[in-house]
Amino acid sequence: MWPFSRLRSVRFCAFCKAKRQVYNKKHVNLTNVVCAAAFTLAFTYAYFAEPDPRGLMVFCVFIIFSEIFVYMRWRNGVVCSMCGFDPILYKKSPQKASLRVSEFFKEQVENPEFWLSRSPLLKLQKRIRLQEKKALEHQIIANRTKSSSLAHPKSP
């Protein structure tokens, strides 16, 4: 509903299906421009005590920073915090998006907070660790049998 709309909405990650909230607003809207104009007017009157063309500069700077802030907030919110999947990057290059998810995975494995999260990547990490553990146990058993056969060589 104009002039106020919902700031965030619920979305699902396309990669890990995790439920999360993302910012809806991608660019500044008319409400922001009107507020910036009001702020500029108040600032101009307070600083110069009369309408001043330099107020236009303040207005432009304010709008530019607002646009950068709103866009960066939206862009950062799009990236999934559970798996690091970036749908915008995926549209441009699926390989780069895949690489980003694997980098995220490698970084987060060292992070204790990640282990307390509900990330679907944890299942994968637990499976990898279980496989490594089994491989290690297998190797230990193989080494023991080898050393015991060396200690007690069977006479022909």
Which residues of this chain interact with Zn ion, rule CB under 5 A? 13, 15-16, 18, 80, 82-83, 85
Measure the CA–CA gap between 107 and 71, rounded to whole angstroms: 26
SS3 of 103, please?
helix
Residue nearer to Zn ion on the CB measure, 8 or 27 = 8
- Judged by CB, which is closer to Zn ion: 85, or 114? 85
Minimum distance from residue 94 beta carbon to Zn ion (Å): 15
Q: Give the nearest distance from C-beta 21 to Zn ion in angstroms.
A: 13
The phi, psi pair for 118, rounded to 5°, reads: -105, 30
Q: Minimum distance between the CB of residue 89 and Zn ion, rounded to whole angstroms?
A: 13
Q: How far apart, in whole angstroms, are the C-alpha atoms of residue 66 and residue 28?
A: 7
Looking at beta carbons only, is 18 or 28 nearer to Zn ion?
18
Compare residues 12 and 47 and give the one whose CB is closer to Zn ion: 12
Q: Shortest distance, CB of residue 26 to Zn ion, whole angstroms?
A: 20
Do 54 and 26 form a contact (C-beta atoms < 8 A)? no
Amino acid letter, 42: A
Return the amino acid letter for 41: L
